[in-house]
Structure 1
Amino acid sequence: MRGGWLLGVTLALSLGAFALVGGWLLGDPGVPKAEALKTGGLAGAAIVALYALWINDRRRRTEEARHEVERGRAEVDRERVADERFAKAVELLGHDADQVRVGALHVLAGLARDRPRYTQTVLDVLCAYLRQPFGHPSFAVLPADPHQAELAPEAPSPELDIARVDGRREVRRTAQRLITDLLPSASDPDAPNYDLDLSGARLEYLNLIDRRVGRLTARRARLYGITRMSGARFTDPVLFSWAHFHGRTELRGTRFDSGISLRHVEIADAWETADTTTRVFADLRDAAPVPVSGAPYRTITVTPGTTVKLGEPATWTVRVEGAPEPVTDRPRHAADFH
């Protein structure tokens, strides 16, 4: 009804414009009759053209609104499917078959890549899986490098027992690898900061090389094999309190922007800490240090104003950015070194 009314008004205006312009020009003896009629026709056609443009614009906006509604519905459907995938994958993590659990982990990682809003939730699930109680005979035989451990278990069916724990071990290694893959690069200044809670976890060959992490909590964790965190950047506090590092730890060029706690940490092998920098605080009161290669001290660089706590005896050499000499006494703040 409204469209017909507007069309009628438009035609009336068009005829009026034709009559008005054409009549005015016909009254001028200097304008040819044909030219006057032509100009009047153009004036009327302009009114019709404006109406056509308005109709096209209205149709375009209506079509865009329809597409927007369809996109919204499709997004709701995708969110529903993603939620169902997440719930099913988490459920399958409790499956008896190792290969099913590995598949569930990959589904979760794929979901995090497709839907970034899931990334922190997926990382929380992977960390929760790694926090489950776990042990392997190689941890007792050669904790510094479990890959090289030669096992000779005395269980009634040793091959079955080893196959069972090896299966669980592979699932856990998959979880660790996926955590590494999901974390952004340390060199990306715009990357989000994802937190990891690995409290009490049993970890093998943890690899966070060149990764950006928010808060890392690994209290009472046990780390077997080589722990690699060179080039990593931690934007929030890193807490290793009461953790046990059984193998070598690589921290070359690592940045702890909000501090690190190594309180009561047991260190059984070398720490490589060249160019490692800490801000805010550094609790270096580790427990029962084991000298490695005749060098009982490890070196860490702190920024001026950083709160530093050293054990007795001190097992760390602390350098202050810009200061010429390292200090091994127990100041409260790095500023006291000057």
Structure 2
Amino acid sequence: MITGFRRPAQGLRPIGHNDRVDSKKGRRSQALALLGTLVVAIGVTAGIALWVLRADARAGMSEAVKTGGLAGAAVVALYGVWLNDRRRRVEEDRQHVEEERLRADGARISHERFGRAIELLGNDADQVRVGAMHALVGLARSTPEYTQTVIDVLCAYLRRPYFHSAYENEAHDPDRNDYAQPLLRRLTEDEAADDREHQVRLTAHRMLKELLPPVGAERTYDLDLTGASLEYFNLEDRAVGTVLARRATFYGITRLAGAEFTGNALFTGAVFRGRVDMRRTRFTGGLSLREVRFSEHANLSDTAVANFADLRWIEPAEVRMDGAAFDGVVRLNEQAETESDVAAVAD
């Protein structure tokens, strides 16, 4: 018994039927065109030969036939030129159709890869989620149109609520926590789950930096890290578009040295639990550090902000701004208006 077979719907034609019909019509039209060309060539040959005989009584039959034959050959040659041009156009059209089909297949495969990776990203197993992130990055590299989408997915993952026990004791440098040392006791299930998720999030951090282009790139990508918990966040020497990091918490050293932000960088309400290295950073748009809390030293030396700078962070804060340059509107705390700050703004 044959199962799973369904009779084709009435009126449907087998695949390739139209192609075969078009091919038969094409061959028939070519045959008719060739026959017509031969008839015209014979007629031209005969007509020219008769015309030569009538126009010049001294011309012999052979001379008249030769002249008529040349005219007929010219007609056949013109047909050959037309036929070659038609074949070329048909081949170009066929190649264009094939390229469109390949592009459509590639887009379909990319959509399937993306959908499968998103499904795996929600898997309970941490190693599966790590593999899904690598699959997404591979998709972004092979299909650049997906780069911003993949970055958005990684940022969304980092925005998920998360807190590791290392942040309680060593927020300024979580790697110094006991969990980074050789295990001296068996971890509880919750501690082990936190560690596994910790490794997944560190992978997301690394993938983000790998996807961002170096400084000077024409195309930049945006980051939305609103409320995210970030650890050893590193964008050194990367070109970034707009960054939204409102109310984000940064654990460990935050490295933004040499980076270039072509859009606004908004860190409003963020908390930096470790040191901040923002030397030689370029902000083509604006920079907002309003209500930012610095738990450790922050270095903004030689930083340049082109549009606006809101430097009303929460005091006390140890912030160095030697050689910093600000164009446009600059807002400072009353407590922060020291001589060094004013000199930095004046530069």
TM range (shorter): 0.7 to 0.9
**Contact in 2 for aligned 1:212/1:234 (Cα 8 Å):** yes
Query: Of 209, 221, 233, which aligns to 1:180?
Result: 209
Alignment match, 2:199: 170
Q: Per the alignment, in what secondary structure is the counterpart of residue 343 of structure 2?
A: coil
Alignment match, 2:299: 272
Q: Distance in 2 between matches of 1:245 and 1:172?
A: 18
Which of the pair is proportionally richer in helix?
Answer: 2
Deviation at 1:89, TM superposition (A): 1.1
- Cα deviation, 1:158-188, whole Å, max 9, x if unaligned, reads 3544432221111111111111111122212
Q: Distance in 1 between matches of 2:271 and 2:280?
A: 22
Q: Distance in 2 between matches of 1:214 and 1:93?
A: 25
Deviation at 1:137, TM superposition (A): 2.1
Q: Distance in 2 between matches of 1:255 and 1:42?
A: 76
- Cα deviation, 1:95-154, whole Å, max 9, x if unaligned, reads 1111100011111111112222221111111001001111122222222221222349xx
**Contact in 1 for aligned 2:274/2:296 (Cα 8 Å):** yes
Q: Which moved further from structure 2: 161-170 or 115-124? A: 161-170
Q: Distance in 1 between matches of 2:239 and 2:274?
A: 23
Answer yes or no: is 1:80 the counterpart of 2:96: no
Answer yes or no: is 1:310 the counterpart of 2:332: yes
Alignment match, 1:213: 240
Deviation at 1:24, TM superposition (A): 5.1
- Measured on the aligned residues, the alpha-carbon RMSD in Å equals 2.7
Alignment match, 2:119: 91
Q: Distance in 1 between matches of 2:203 and 2:128?
A: 12
Q: In structure 2, give the amino acid aligned to 1:327.
A: A
Query: Of 189, 197, 221, which aligns to 1:194?
Result: 221
Q: Distance in 2 between matches of 1:194 and 1:232?
A: 13
**Contact in 1 for aligned 2:291/2:312 (Cα 8 Å):** yes
Q: Distance in 1 between matches of 2:240 and 2:59?
A: 82
Answer yes or no: is 1:242 the counterpart of 2:258: no
Q: Which moved further from structure 2: 43-52 or 73-82? A: 73-82
Q: Distance in 2 between matches of 1:131 and 1:11?
A: 77
Q: In structure 2, give the amino acid aligned to 1:11.
A: L
Alignment match, 2:130: 102
Q: Distance in 1 between matches of 2:36 and 2:248?
A: 81
Query: Of 228, 234, 242, which aligns to 2:255?
Result: 228
Q: Which moved further from structure 2: 223-232 or 237-246? A: 223-232
Deviation at 1:32, TM superposition (A): 7.9
Q: Distance in 2 between matches of 1:179 and 1:316?
A: 37
Q: In structure 2, give the amino acid aligned to 1:273.
A: L
Q: Distance in 2 between matches of 1:314 and 1:25?
A: 107
- Cα deviation, 1:28-86, whole Å, max 9, x if unaligned, reads 58878766644433332221122122122222222322332233233222222222221
Q: Distance in 2 between matches of 1:48 and 1:176?
A: 71
Alignment match, 1:255: 282
Deviation at 1:312, TM superposition (A): 2.5
- Cα deviation, 1:238-271, whole Å, max 9, x if unaligned, reads 1111111122222222111111110111112222
Alignment match, 1:126: 154
**Contact in 2 for aligned 1:19/1:40 (Cα 8 Å):** yes
